[in-house]
Amino acid sequence: MGDLPGKLTWKPGTVLHPLPVVLVGCGRIGTDANLITLAWTGIVCSEPPLLSISVRPSRHSHALILKHQVFTVNLPAATQATQVDWCGVKSGRDVDKFGHTGLTPLAGPQTGAPLVAECPVGLECRVVDSRSLGSHDLFIAEIVAVYADAALVDPDTQAFALERSAPLCYAHGNYYELGGYLGFFGFSVQKKPGKKAPGPPRRR
């Protein structure tokens, strides 16, 4: 295999970006509640709604997820980058991450796993499958409940306006905010361009 014109050839690696970076809540409030920062996560099925997380077996959280078979995925805002990064460099073996960061644990009504009250969006998840991939173990989990701050609902349309949460993004070791609005799903094939031309969603 040769090189491609105008392209550099990099060694194979995890070059996929941007990614959401999430705070996964595991364990139980009052005994072993913990938070782990993860970037290796994604939606893997629509019906049933499934997501995946990949966790190294050496993480304290790995044992907690194996034990309880449930966890939460909390989507932080860009303003929470410091807490998110901190939870990704400290271990729950040594520190109480909720206590240290001041983040508030809320017991998920469906699973008992700890949600993060301050994160604008939180998902409760139940593990349905897992397997070892190499460095990381893959957990596939069903999303059994979704919670979002009331402030994310557009007061005019009552539509769920996720972009209002200003999510934290991750690319190759660095954190970013979401950029500007470009259009809605399918705008490239809309019948009467100009009539409903893509524009930024209303912000307040």
- Among 8, 89, 150, 182, which residue interacts with ligand FMN (rule: CB under 6 A)? 89
Q: Which residue is nearest to ligand FMN (CB)?
A: 88
**CB of 169: closest distance to ligand FMN in angstroms?**
10
Tokens 């700890």 belong to 114
R_g of the chain computed on alpha carbons: 19
The region of 29-37, 115-123, 138-146, 181-189 touching ligand FMN under the rule CB under 6 A is 29-37
Q: Two tokens at 14?
A: 């995890």
Pair of tokens at residue 192: 């009467």
Q: By CB under 6 A, tell whether 39 contacts ligand FMN.
A: yes
Q: Which one of residues 23, 33, 36, 169 is an interface residue with ligand FMN (CB under 6 A)?
A: 36
Q: What's the min distance (Å) between Cβ of 48 and ligand FMN? A: 23
For ligand FMN, which is the closer residue by CB, 21 or 51? Answer: 21
Residue with tokens 């173990």: 137
* Longest Cα separation, the chain: 59
Is 103 a binding residue for ligand FMN by CB under 6 A? The answer is: no
b (16+ CB within 10 A) / e for 88-110: eebebeeeebbeebebebbbbee
Q: Which of 168, 120, 167 is nearest to 146 (CA)?
A: 120
- Which residues of the shown chain bind ligand FMN in the complex (CB under 6 A)? 21, 34, 36-40, 54-56, 59-61, 85, 88-93, 136, 170
